[in-house]
A and B are shown apart, each in its own frame.
Chain A
Amino acid sequence: MIALLRRDLRLAVRAGGGFGLGLAFFLIVIVLVPFGVGPETEILTRIAPGILWVASLLAALLSLDRIFALDYEDGSLALLATSPLPLEGAALMKALAHWISTGLPLTIAAPALGFLLSLAPEAYGFLLMSLLIGTPALSMIGTFGAALTVGLRRGGLLLSLLVLPLYVPTLIFGAEAVRRGANGLDATGALVLLGAVTAGAFALLPFATAATLRINLR
């Protein structure tokens, strides 16, 4: 299973688009927001948690359709399905590789971009923590969505429509944790629920993803 993770990360680095693309998109969205809403710091401070979370959601969405589509096209997916590697494990590794190449860089870059939106100083820790807990769920749910649309040509749009509603709980709890942190309130509840969504996604979705892939490969 580690071999698959290593290969996917290597491909993400070499083929480009993996590491850079999502991060650059995140950066641009965050930079564009002050142009759109104006430079008043109080407004930016108030909307910063939500904007940062929505932007990381969209950035994670950007590279989802590549998770299985490339392997499907060049035949590796059928070969992986007939290999001794359990498809559930492959799904988990795919999600993990997606998180390392998208979610993790976003998490690390987010505090710097929070500065651009004049995020409240107390909120930085919560931003980092909520993204660290929440973004793995984005990758896992997205992997499931990618498996659903794997056989379709131009399934990218359908994938977004399928996956974005499933991102709602993560978005609500993630942004809420940062907002509460910014206002000096107790954010434990939101963080715990955020963690619950992630844990649930990782407990159930590898199996759902593998079942979906088996049906799509028939």
Chain B
Amino acid sequence: MALANRLVGNTPDACATEITYGNAEMRFETDTAVALAGAEVEADLSGRPAPMHRTLNAKRGEVLKLARPSQGVRTYVAVAGGIAGEPTFGSQSTFLPAGFGGHEGRALRAGDVLELPAARKGEILETPVPLRPHMSASHVLRCVPGPDGDMLTGAAWNEPSETSARLDRTGIELTGPWPQLQDAAQRPSEALFPGAVQLTPSGRAFLLLPDSQTTGGYPHVLQVIRADRHLLGQIGAGNRVRVLRRTPEEAAADLRAKSALFADWLPGFRF
């Protein structure tokens, strides 16, 4: 989202749209600069090709059409000036589990009208190639052990796991070499953040995403490091996930290195 916003002159956290599995159309009722980033989709703007990672100038009445992504899950469409709206708890994001924020607290549907700022054209920019996230069906996530990390066997670190079809913005189910839980494994509820991997009584694990619960009682065995959490939204069903072990100090170095890589293109951006 930050990369799409950059191409239309917005701050990294300006309100944009997130399109899950493509297949969307939007008609612009004003001239505006628009840009696509995230999951790779074939797109066109009233018949003209609409490449990813490049500023597009849409004219009033033109229609942007997105196909289904070939790789990745979520495509971001940013418009110059961002989408107008009132923040809830300091954010314009939609929080689907509780039905607040964003546009009426729900996913967009056909016929919705979003308010844009006054017409503006954008200077044509392109995301530098090294900064474009690579979309793939196999993922490597750097992790530190969670508070219950000692429950894991070596296999959890060495063998890949696979995502099931149970995934949404709260989390992704992972099948893999996870230890089977005993009944006594329920913990008193403690804080959780996106990127946590919890073991569940089903013998599978759950990787939490940004709409996850804030506390929970299942064993918390892994934590995806902050530098790699931006990758989680592009993990799809049937994908393969490997984990790489890090210490907190190594993870801090990873984060600083990645932040430095993006610092020139995205000033002020924080992972």
A joins B in a complex: no
| Residues of B bordering A, CB below 8 Å | none
| Residues of A bordering B, CB below 8 Å | none
